Structure 1
Amino acid sequence: MTTTLHAAWLIALAALPAPALAGDKPAFELALDIDQDGTMDRAVVMQDDGGPADLYFYLGTREEKLDPSQKPDFVGKALTEDRILDLEAKGKGSLAITSCFGCGATKSTEDTLIIVHRRGQFLVGGYSRNWDWNIQKSDGTVETTVGDCDINYLTGKATASRDLEDGKPVKGRFKPVLLKDWSYEKRPKICSF
């Protein structure tokens, strides 16, 4: 009987949404009105040390504590491999997620993903990235690559810079990307170095 109860407990525990699992604590949690319907929603980022970050949205939660049995309205798995630094509500119901790799080391990048909810869908409304990458060469010199990019998917415009020059407009138009289709591996080429 104990084995049956133990197995039933494990099955019930596995069926719960990820943020509700015992021992898991959100890396970040934020109340905001992302769908702009007048009711507070909740964004939760879960990330183990060194692991990918998962994003959960719970719509219409008001400001109460999340019910562990509540199913998320959206789950974005492996949103980034980098360490999440901040989750911030921005104007017009947008959410900014900032992450970094290296975080100030000789090889570092910082990314900010802007998420919006429009016409019933979660979209990537913007993306920015800056990098400072130093590579030690075999002759003892250091090769430094710095730059940044900033894309506003809602307006379709972007800027990019290399080295220490000012950002310049990028030719072409950028269209909003469904958040479910976004991955850090699909970032635009102008944001690579």
Structure 2
Amino acid sequence: MTTALHHAVWLIALAAMPAPGLAYDKPAFELALDIDQDGTMDRAVVMQNDDGRADLYIYLATGEEKLDPSRKPDFVKKALTEDRILDLESKGEGSLAITSCFGCGASKSTEDTLIVVYRNRSFLVGGYSRNWDWNIQKSDGTVETTIGDCDINYLTGKATASRDLDDGKPVKGRFKPVPLNDWSYEKRPRICSF
């Protein structure tokens, strides 16, 4: 009984302690890649904050080094998303894919992938894809399901979208790269909403 009481006291004490700031304590995700395609590895770091926001930090020419908390990043995008980050991945040709989810497999869930590229000395959104599976319980006991996806390649200007179980169809119009500083999930194209 005393051991259980000790554990309970420790758990309460730990829960009452202020949480350390996440700004460099431990990245949620970290990836070395050559995002600016200059032959030297760079580093992308995502920090998931206590409030759920995910911030992106990019350090040029530091991919081979250990992350130094005192070094100022070359690029910062605060509040990149409020969803949970699932993965960072290099997609070749300097492309960084950042995948996040809301609900993450629950009855109401979405998954987003943002492709970040470096072109003409600027960080841009080069692509964006989203899929959703949204189930709403109605008052009569039935469930209304909305399924769909979108895929936009801002570099080629082309996009596809689908609803329900249909195959993706080309979307009319041209899509241009968006400066990463200007990007927000609230500004995503209408074809990616449901």
Is the pair's TM-score, using the shorter chain for normalization, greater than 0.5? yes
Equivalent residue number for residue 155 of structure 1: 156
Q: Secondary structure at the match of 2:93?
A: helix
**Partner Cα separation in structure 1 for residue 52 and residue 117 of structure 2:** 25
Equivalent residue number for residue 44 of structure 2: 43
Q: Secondary structure at the match of 1:91?
A: coil
- 1:159-170 equivalence runs, <5 A: 159-170=160-171
Post-superposition Cα deviations, 1:128-157, rounded to whole Å, max 9, x if no partner, equal 000000000000000000000000000000
Equivalent residue number for residue 139 of structure 1: 140
Shift of 1:50: 5.0
Shift of 1:48: 2.6
Equivalent residue number for residue 30 of structure 1: 31
Q: Secondary structure at the match of 1:190?
A: helix
Q: How many residues are treated as equivalent by the alignment?
A: 173
**Partner Cα separation in structure 2 for residue 51 and residue 174 of structure 1:** 29
Q: Secondary structure at the match of 2:167?
A: coil
**Partner Cα separation in structure 2 for residue 187 and residue 134 of structure 1:** 22
- Across the aligned residues of Structure 1 and Structure 2, the Cα RMSD in angstroms comes to 1.0
**Partner Cα separation in structure 2 for residue 153 and residue 62 of structure 1:** 26
**Partner Cα separation in structure 2 for residue 156 and residue 93 of structure 1:** 18
Equivalent residue number for residue 74 of structure 1: 75
Q: Does 1:127 align with 2:128?
A: yes
Greater shift in the superposed pair: 62-71 or 50-59: 62-71
Which amino acid is 2:147 matched to?
V
Equivalent residue number for residue 99 of structure 1: 100
Task: Flag as ranges the 4+ runs of structure 1 deviating above 6 A.
Answer: none
Which amino acid is 1:128 matched to?
S
Shift of 1:62: 3.9
Which amino acid is 1:90 matched to?
K
Q: Secondary structure at the match of 2:186?
A: helix
Shift of 1:19: 3.6
Equivalent residue number for residue 10 of structure 1: none
- 1:10-29 equivalence runs, <5 A: 19-20=23-24, 24-29=25-30
**Partner Cα separation in structure 2 for residue 191 and residue 33 of structure 1:** 29
Q: CA separation of 1:44/1:188 partners in 2, compared to 1, >3 Å: closer, same or farther?
A: same
Unaligned runs of 5+ in 1: 1-17
Equivalent residue number for residue 54 of structure 1: 55
Equivalent residue number for residue 172 of structure 2: 171
Which amino acid is 2:38 matched to?
D
Q: Secondary structure at the match of 1:166?
A: coil
Unaligned runs of 5+ in 2: 1-21
TM-score (norm 1): 0.87
